[in-house]
Chains A and B, each alone.
Chain A
Amino acid sequence: MINLIVILTTAIMFALLLVWWRWPVFRIWIEAPKYSMLRQEHRFNDQDTEQETATNLSSNGKHT
């Protein structure tokens, strides 16, 4: 059983490294989510900033 675990895990690791080394497109594909996550964060932040600005303008207008 121990042999099974060790062999299986080692094989998976080597397979992943092989794929990483052999197919550059895999690297691009596997790394893409870390950029899309930031894009999403950016989009939400932009929206929040716009809404905040709008709210501040609105409240300033009321005071004046």
Chain B
Amino acid sequence: MTTSAQNLTSRNGQVTQVVAVLPSIEYDLIRAHIVASLVTVVISVLFGITVATKFSFPEFLGGHGWLTWGRLRYNHTQGIFFGWLGNAFLAFFYYVVPRLANRPVWSRKLGWLLFGIWNFAVVLPGWVLVLNGISKPLEWGEFPHVVDVFVILAFILMTFEFVLPFLKAALSDLYVAAWYIIGGIIFTMLAYPVGNIVPELVPGARGAAFSGLWIHDAVGLYVTPFALAIAYYVIPATTRRPIFSHFLSMVGFWLLFFMYPLNGTHHYVYSVIPMSAQKGAIVASAYLGMDVILVVTNLLLSLRGNSGTASKDVPLRFVWFGVVAYLVVSLQGSVQALMPVNRFIHFTDWVIGHSHLAMIGFASFIALGGIAHLWQRIPRTRYNERTMNWSFWLLATGLTLMVADLTIAGLVEAQVWESSAPWIDSIRAVGSYWLVRTLSGLPILAGFLLFWTSLVTGPKLSGATLSVASPVASENKAAFEDVSPVSVIPRSSSWLSYAHVVAFGAGVGFFALSFLVLAIIPGNQLEHEIKQAAPVTMANLTASEQRGRIIYGREGCAYCHTQQIRFLAADVRRFGAPTEAWETKYDYPQLWGTRRIGPDLSREFNLRPCDWQLTHLYNPRLVVQDSVMPPYPWLFDGSPGHPTQEGLDVLAYIQSLGRARQLSGFDGRWLASSVRSETPDMAMSNEPLAGATPPAVPIAMVGGYSLSAPILHPAADPGDLQEEVSRGGALFAANCASCHGSGGGGDGKASASLLPKPANLTAARFSDERLSSVLWNGVAGSAMPPWRQLPTEDLRALIAYIQSVNAPGATPRIQEAAGLGKALFAATCASCHGVTGEGNGPAAGALAPAPTNFHLKKPTEERAWDVLENGVPGTAMPPWRNQLSADERHALLEFVRSLYDPPQENEGQ
């Protein structure tokens, strides 16, 4: 402690000199936390840029699990959350708490212990463990439980270090920044365990209700209060004028703590979580927007008369930018929660832009302003103003570009998702936006580096401390001294001192209310619903599937693939029936996800064969040329055909998704009880359960056999046909070549690991009917998916192109086949291919892929001979070279050719 003489000037003009003891400030701890914050922010931004780069170059650093997208993404957000913002906030607390409490922090030793725990028991081991595959798939809670223990411990220590000084000081007046610091520490300490541990204990939809709370509490009860504490301190300290209204600031404070916890469920609008909880969260979101208008108005009015302030004082400019960003991002958040908007932009990059605006534009800018402000005021440190200025503009430019880019990208994605276009089209549509996003990260990284540089290249000072040299401050010197002493409050009103206690109790009450309203009550409703709806035979995951689920979580799959089909027509049309609560009965923790880069996986059971899934896992671009999904080669022994046990476990888990639903007959019951032939637009229906009906027609995206496959014929006019072939070629290259090869020879990159092999389109002549059927329905039992989500004209163009590469020489044998071939066919082939070769033999119904219909698919002689010799691996067609002699096989071949229909009119063109 040191002594200080202070002149207090009251409003009646009396001047009194007060000799007071000033509490000491732990400058070493401030410096240590600032250095830690800057080290971690640079690392975290590098994680982010790497993650963003992988959208454009999925193979970039893709060979090892430690550098895969999911793990780096976890570390990006957790690094920003704990490493950067946590350290920046702590640095500011050490500076501001002694000033506001008029007491030093609790203990210097405790401070160093806290520093050690925060950085060397939370941030560093958290990063290492996540990279090593030990994590939780919970948004904003990705560090594993062993780290959670230290986070909670750290918050307990923070309570001692920063809250107890206020309690010991027993101040009659507590500045709003102190309220935010105390509130943030206490409420985060309460919310963290609930958000990070409860979802592991409460499954599926019920757990999601808790997860939703934490997703928002992390921002609302940790980031926002501490950032606002900085803003509320830096603005008056720089301008040397009191804030506009402390009353409004307190109204804003309590509304924030009342409303923020109630927002969480707006991340699950249109989900199975009871609509009352969803609507409650939406209303709370609207209230929060009003609260933020109040807070920001108060902060900006505090800058009244200082129009040039931000241009002169860089730290204040950082804070001003952060306050404006806070207004924008909060209003954006309120609007996003509204159902007509949410249905459109949720899961898109719009939300990613929103979160970057919150975490960089709002929180980071204010934290940077806070650091710069106090750096100028701690012993022997000054920043380099020129470099600091550059840092501001680089960060502002990069952020603006990133948010604008992601917002537009989100709208593009939403538009594609609303259509019937294939999912991959949304990836293609935003490819250039993702590249711009990556590039926009570079000025942000440069901005943070320059900020660091500005701190270490400032003027060297030999003196012990500082005097505040802000030009703005000196201009407002008079105002600074115009302070109103507290002593004017009459003693009879001392009851007001207890208002803090009442308000604190109310805050805790509201916090508890949020869990009651948004988690416990909806959870009980969901539990009741699960008990009623879940099939009694619903089996838990097998051991392999459970292991696969853990791997799925650790690799961050849930951050690109939702497992939550919302009660929306667009979702249902694309993915299938909406996700019911009972389907998530065994999901510990829930993996619903809040973002879709890839498609939803809720209905993956029986959708694609194992060889496709394994090839896709090994390298997604082998089967989906424009996919941006990361490769997972560490789940394989060198090739897609050799998965490790972990690879098999992931496969087992993916193949289990939606199994209970399909096997339960649940959709059949619903369909039987509903007369709706089409899925209504459920967006504005009263209640999800009342409005949701699975579509009568199978889903466009996921296939299922449709009896209504049309027969598409290419154009008859040669000119039009040529145009169709040309367009079909482009479509083929984009969608088919990865399996069928660029020339259609069945030798694409994926062919090595697919069984049966992709069809060699040059070795047979396919009829319009056959190609139409395959494109419409896919080929059951093979990796060939349905493509009927493409426009009809595209399918027609594909048929035209495929027929242009078909073998022209597969002509039918005109004369009647010899009796030997016919007899052999009847004896050995007809049980599958049918007596007439239409692929409709008695055994055909049980075979997938189905036996060839020789009237629709006419293999060349060479191909037919090869099949007779070697069979078709991966199908029921066996090799016949050991059972039949060469003459017999020739006779059989001749008979098969006799089954071919005459050429179509345009065949051979």
| Chain A residues engaging chain B, CB cutoff 8 angstroms | 1-2, 4-6, 9, 12-13, 16, 20, 23, 25-52, 54-56, 59
Tell me, rounded to whole Å, the shortest Cβ–Cβ distance linking B103 to chain A. Answer: 11
Which segment, of B181-189, B482-490, B638-646, faces chain A? B482-490
Query: B8 touching A37 by the CB < 8 A rule?
Result: no
Instruction: Report A21 CB to chain B, min CB distance, Å.
Output: 11
- Contacts A30-B250, A31-B245 given: A38-B236 contact, CB under 8 Å? yes
Question: A32 with B255: in contact, given A42-B480, A48-B467 (CB under 8 Å)?
Answer: no
Nearest CB to that of B254 among chain A residues? A12
Name the residue of chain A whose CB is nearest to the CB of B239.
A38
Beyond the given A43-B22, A47-B2, please list 20 additional residue pairs across the A-B interface where CB-CB is below 8 A: A1-B517, A5-B283, A23-B493, A25-B489, A30-B246, A30-B247, A30-B250, A32-B489, A34-B236, A34-B246, A35-B483, A37-B99, A37-B236, A38-B240, A42-B480, A48-B377, A50-B4, A52-B467, A55-B462, A55-B463
* Min CB–CB distance A47 → chain B (angstroms): 4
| 29 A/B residue pairs, CB under 8 Å, sorted by A | A1-B517, A2-B279, A5-B283, A5-B287, A12-B254, A16-B251, A25-B489, A25-B490, A25-B496, A27-B247, A28-B489, A29-B496, A30-B247, A33-B175, A33-B176, A35-B242, A35-B486, A36-B175, A36-B483, A37-B175, A37-B242, A39-B6, A41-B99, A42-B481, A44-B99, A47-B4, A48-B467, A52-B464, A59-B462
A34 vs B8: C-alpha distance when bound (angstroms): 15
Which chain B residues numbered 1 to 54 have a C-beta less than 8 Å away from chain A? 2, 4-6, 8, 20, 22
Which residues on A sit within 8 Å (CB–CB) of B276?
A: 1-2
Residues of A near B99 (CB, < 8 A) are 37, 40-41, 44
Give complex CA distance A20, B846 in Å: 80
Query: CA A12 – CA B154 in complex, angstroms?
Result: 34
Whether A46 and B243, one on each chain, are in contact in the complex, defined by CB atoms closer than 8 angstroms, is: no
- Least distance between A10 CB and chain B CB atoms (Å): 10
Contact A34 B175 (CB under 8 A): yes
B176 and A48 form a contact (CB under 8 A): no
Per the bound structure, the CA–CA distance linking A31 and B243 in Å amounts to 9
Shortest distance from the beta carbon of B514 to any chain A beta carbon, whole Å: 10
Question: Which one of A12, A26, A41 contacts B496 once the chains associate, using CB atoms below 8 Å?
Answer: A26
Considering the chains assembled together, what is the distance between the CA atoms of A35 and B242 in angstroms?
Answer: 6
Contact of A48 among B249, B258, B465 (CB under 8 A): B465
Q: Does any Cβ of A come within 8 Å of B399's Cβ? A: no
Given known A5-B280, A9-B255, contact A45–B493 (CB-CB < 8 A): no
Q: Decide if B325 is an interface residue (CB 8 Å cutoff).
A: no
Least CB distance from B674 to A in Å reads 29
Asked whether B277 is an interface residue with its Cβ less than 8 Å from the other chain, the reply is yes
Q: Which of B233-286 contact A (CB under 8 A)?
A: 233, 236-237, 240-243, 245-247, 249-251, 254-255, 258-259, 262, 276-277, 279-280, 283-284
B622 an interface residue at 8 Å Cβ cutoff?
no
Q: Are B4 and A5 in contact (CB-based, < 8 A)?
A: no
Q: Is B468 among interface residues, defined by CB-CB distance under 8 A?
A: yes
Selected contact of B247 from candidates A5, A20, A48, A49, CB within 8 Å? A20
Contact between chains at B465 and A51 (CB < 8 Å): yes
The contact of A38 among B20, B172, B480, by CB within 8 Å, is B480
A residues near B467, Cβ cutoff 8 Å:
45, 48-49, 52
B277 touches A38 (CB 8 A): no
Question: What is the CA–CA distance of A23 and B492 in the complex, to the nearest angstrom?
Answer: 12
Q: Across the interface, do B484 and A32 meet the contact criterion of CB distance under 8 Å?
A: yes
**Is the Cβ of B100 less than 8 Å from the Cβ of A37?**
yes
Q: Do the beta carbons of B280 and A36 come within 8 Å of each other? A: no
- Residue of A at shortest CB range from B172? A32
| CB–CB A28/B246 < 8 A | no
Task: Write out the residue numbers on chain B whose beta carbons fall within 8 Å of the beta carbon of A1.
Answer: 276-277, 279-280, 517, 521
A57 to B348, CA, bound (A): 62
A36: nearest chain-B partner, CB-CB = B173
**Ordered nearest first, which 7 A-B pairs have the shortest CB separation?**
A34-B242, A35-B483, A33-B175, A33-B173, A55-B463, A37-B175, A48-B465
| A contact residues around B465 at 8 Å (CB) | 48, 51-52, 55
B279 proximity list for chain A (CB < 8 A): 1-2
Give Cα A58 to B823, complex, Å: 116
Interface residue? B174 (CB, 8 A): yes
Residue of A nearest to B282 (CB): A2
| In the complex, chain B residues whose CB is within 8 Å of the CB of A35 | 242, 483-486
Q: How far is the CA of A30 from the CA of B248 in the complex (A)?
A: 9
| CB proximity to A under 8 Å, residues B460-502 | 462-468, 480-481, 483-486, 488-490, 493, 496
Q: Is the CB of B22 within 8 A of A44?
A: yes
The residues of B that contact A23 with a CB separation of less than 8 Å are: 493
- B179 nearest CB neighbor, chain A only: A33
Chain A residue nearest to B98 in the complex (CB): A44
Q: Which residues of B contact A55 (CB under 8 A)?
A: 462-465
Q: Collect the chain B residues with CB atoms within 8 Å of residue A46's CB.
A: 4-6
Q: A27 to B496, alpha carbons, bound, how many Å?
A: 11
Tell me the bound Cα distance from A2 to B796 in angstroms: 53
Which residue on B lies nearest to A10, using beta carbons? B287
Given A1-B280, A16-B251, A59-B462, does the pair A32, B173 have CB atoms closer than 8 Å?
A: yes
- For the complex, give the distance between the alpha carbons of A6 and B287 in Å: 9
CB distance from B482 to the nearest CB of A (A): 9
Please give the distance in Å from A15's CB to the nearest CB on chain B: 11
Bound-state CA distance A38–B218 (Å) is: 30
Q: What residues of B have a CB within 8 angstroms of the CB of A48 in the complex?
A: 377, 465-468
Interface residue B177 (Cβ < 8 Å from any Cβ of A) = yes
Interface-centre pick from A2, A33, A41 (highest chain B CB count, 10 A): A33
**Most chain B CB atoms below 10 A, which of A36, A49, A51:** A36
Q: How far is the CB of A2 from chain B (nearest CB, A)?
A: 5
B102 within 8 A of A: yes
Within the complex, the shortest CB–CB distance from B355 to chain A, in Å, comes to 25
Chain B residues near A50: list those with CB within 8 A.
4
- Smallest CB–CB gap between B871 and chain A, Å? 65
**Cα(A25)–Cα(B487), bound, Å:** 12
CB closest residue in chain B, given A26:
B496
A46 and B681 CA atoms in complex are apart in Å by 67
Give CA–CA (A36, B233) in the complex, Å: 12
CA A59 – CA B243 in complex, angstroms? 39
Q: Cα distance A8–B595 when bound, in Å?
A: 34
- Nearest residue (CB) in B for A48 is B465
* A41 to B238 Cα, complex, angstroms: 10
Given the complex of chains A and B, what is the CA–CA distance between A4 and B262 in angstroms?
12
Residues of A within 8 A of B466 (CB): 48, 52
In the complex, what residue of chain B is closest to A49 when comparing beta carbons?
B467
Q: Which residues of B contact A45 (CB under 8 A)?
A: 467-468
Please, which residues of chain B bring their CB within 8 A of the CB of A6? Answer: 283
Interface string of B401-420 (1 = CB under 8 A from A): 00000000000000000000
Cβ–Cβ < 8 Å partners of B245 in chain A: 31
CA distance A16 to B246 in the complex (A): 13
CA distance A31 to B255 in the complex (A): 18
B254 contacts which chain A residues (CB < 8 A)? 12
**A1 to B278 Cα, complex, angstroms:** 10
Alpha-carbon distance A49/B370, docked complex (angstroms): 21
Q: How far is the CB of A24 from chain B (nearest CB, A)?
A: 10
Bound state CA distance, A1 and B282, in angstroms?
12
